[in-house]
Amino acid sequence: MSVILYHWEPNANSGKPMLTLAEKGVAYESQYLDLLQFDQHKPAYLAINPDGTIPALVHGSRVLTESTPMMEYIDDAFKGPPLKPTGPEARWRMRWWMRFFDSYFAPSLSMIGWSIFVGPAVRLRPEEDLRAAIDRIPLESRRIAWRKAMFNEFSPEEIAESKRRVLFATKALEQHLSRFTWIAGDTYTLGDINGFNLGYALPLSQPDHCNETKTPHIMEWLRRIYERPAARETWAKGRTQMSARIKILERAP
Amino acid sequence: VLELYTSEPNTFFLKPLIALAEKRAAFTTKYFDAASLEQFADGFLSDLESSLQLEREGPLLVHDGIVISSSFFMLEYISDALPGASLTPAEPYDAYRARAWGQYLGAQLGSIVPVLGAAKYLQPHLAALDPALVDRRIAAIEPIERRSGWMAVRDGTLSTPYLKAAADRLGAPIARVETALSGGSWLAGPAFSIADIDAYPMLRVLPDLAPAAVNAQSTPRICEYIERIAARDSVREALKAARTDRPERQFVPGLEASRWG
């Protein structure tokens, strides 16, 4: 059965299935969609995922669009090294932290990222093009997000609250990694793949809060993942400066 | 040793009770009154994950000293860790669908249903309690996001437009569930699963809280689905945990809505 992954950069939600497939050793057809050109809202892609969100995995006739459950599917459906822990307690811990990453940490971190990276990158284009692009977005929640990013409608209070949450979540993660080697416990799992996609650039974007002194466990955890061949292979597929930020994780010679 | 810390069998609290009954598991119930903020009394069980869980209020399952929080993942844990038939679909794509429902409905219904229920039932309940006790318990809540959910209910800041917007947001998830049920009796594959155990406790209260959105005319399949699940032995067993006459009227604030607007 064919495996096709529609994705953007190895980053955030797109990077989750990319790194998972690489770790499993699954060959797949890569369909790169340029988020900044709104490829994900064009008819060709809406025929695959009517919600217009990326990533999407097409396995034979099956279409999967929720990135975290998608990672579990890849682990369940394909041969290769297991990426879920064997015990139910560790599996629960992996899932608990993935939800914390997806629904608490990531929305705040991405609001900051969209306000400083995505917004300015698309704002170079004429306003009427941007308004037309918004009209093609299927989901109301995504239209709101894009409108805010395109026209820089984030309030100072929203950004300040997002920064507070990023700092809070960074501290919680450091506390967790001071007790456990990996997110789920003793072994590298989908929880680490998820967290790495969220946090690989934290030492660059949050240098005052994520560094050798304040978060030594996070730093070491990120470097251990960066040194995995699957991570090298996945981030080599990046085309923008955003995914190039991963170089911050090179160890000093 | 298996202990379930639970309040009235409704919304988040009803889910593990059903799963444990499906498994015919032996467990001890540690009952607390969540609507009266007993989970914030000194000495109540708490750890990093249970205090930061995004549902904010909910059941805790303690299995040989391990504290399991967050209701959908608690269902996966019960399915995984306890003897008896699995409640997770065996086929990987059906398991994906169950988890995708858990993620989607968890965020959607999990942030809408509690708000509607809190405005109708929790607000008058809090107002009838000793104000000094309520203030003291709320002041002790960490983190601040969890505290603000309670403050909004106590202070009556859930405005009519806010509640209207919440009820309007029900449209998309309700339409998705109604459509999905045209393909079969259950949400994720041929058998009753954790996806159904997760969805049912949130859906069953909607004919009361949002009759314009869920009713026999506009959502006949959801109404039949609610009846189909209510008839299961496990649900009848789960509802025996109630200590009031109307467990379907006990609500806690639940998840916050997306901060992206």
pLDDT tens-place string over residues B201-235 = 999 999 999 999 999 999 999 999 999 999 999 99
pLDDT, residue A81, reads 98
Dihedral (CA of A74, A54, A52, A98) sign:
positive
- Return the number of other C-beta atoms located less than 10 Å from residue A233's C-beta: 14
Interface contact A176, partner B, CB < 8 A = yes
Nearest Cα of chain A lies from the Cα of B146 at a distance, in angstroms, of 13
Interface contact B99, partner A, CB < 8 A = yes
Element (H, E) at B234: helix B233-239
Chain A residues in contact with B81 by the CB 8 A cut-off are 88-89
pLDDT, residue A117, reads 86
Per-residue pLDDT reduced to its tens digit, A221-230? 999 999 999 9
Pairing, β B2-6 against β B28-31: parallel
Residue that the structure tokens 């450091």 belong to: A174
Interface contact B96, partner A, CB < 8 A = yes
Helix/strand/coil for B67: strand
Chain A residues in contact with B258 by the CB 8 A cut-off are 107, 141
Nearest Cα of chain B lies from the Cα of A226 at a distance, in angstroms, of 26
* Residue B120, C-beta contacts closer than 8 angstroms, at least 6 positions apart: B209, B251
pLDDT, residue A88, reads 98
Instruction: Give pairs for A138-141: CB < 8 Å, separation 24+.
Output: A138/A41, A138/A46, A138/A50, A138/A51, A138/A52, A139/A51, A139/A52, A139/A53, A140/B172, A141/B258, A141/B260, A141/B261
Low-confidence residues of chain A: pLDDT under 50: none
Q: Percent of chain B having pLDDT more than 70?
A: 100
Taking CB atoms and an 8 Å limit, are A103 and B107 in contact across chains?
yes
As a whole number, the mean pLDDT across chain A is 96
Q: Is the pTM of this model over 0.95?
A: yes
Please say whether the beta carbons of B153 and B118 come within 8 A.
Answer: yes
Helix/strand/coil for A28: coil
Taking CB atoms and an 8 Å limit, are B52 and A100 in contact across chains?
yes
Taking CB atoms and an 8 Å limit, are B68 and A92 in contact across chains?
yes
Please check the confidence at residue B261 and state whether its pLDDT lies above 90.
no
Report the alpha-carbon distance of residue A179 to residue A187 in Å, rounded: 13
> Token digits for B143?
């983190």
pLDDT, residue B161, reads 87
Nearest Cα of chain A lies from the Cα of B26 at a distance, in angstroms, of 18
Dihedral (CA of A208, A146, A199, B254) sign:
positive
Chain A residues in contact with B102 by the CB 8 A cut-off are 69
Please check the confidence at residue B260 and state whether its pLDDT lies above 90.
no
Taking CB atoms and an 8 Å limit, are A96 and B259 in contact across chains?
no
Taking CB atoms and an 8 Å limit, are B96 and A64 in contact across chains?
yes
Query: Considering only residues 7 to 36 of chain A, which have any Cβ-Cβ distance to chain B shorter than 8 Å?
Result: none
Chain B residues in contact with A88 by the CB 8 A cut-off are 77, 80-81
Please say whether the beta carbons of B187 and B101 come within 8 A.
Answer: yes
Interface contact B113, partner A, CB < 8 A = no
B138 phi, psi to nearest 5 deg: -65, -40
Per-residue pLDDT reduced to its tens digit, B82-137? 999 999 999 999 999 999 999 999 999 999 999 999 999 999 999 999 999 999 99
Nearest Cα of chain A lies from the Cα of B46 at a distance, in angstroms, of 15
B183-201 burial, b at 16+ Cβ within 10 Å, e below that, comes to eeebbbbebbbbbbbbbbb
Average pLDDT over residues B170-193: 97
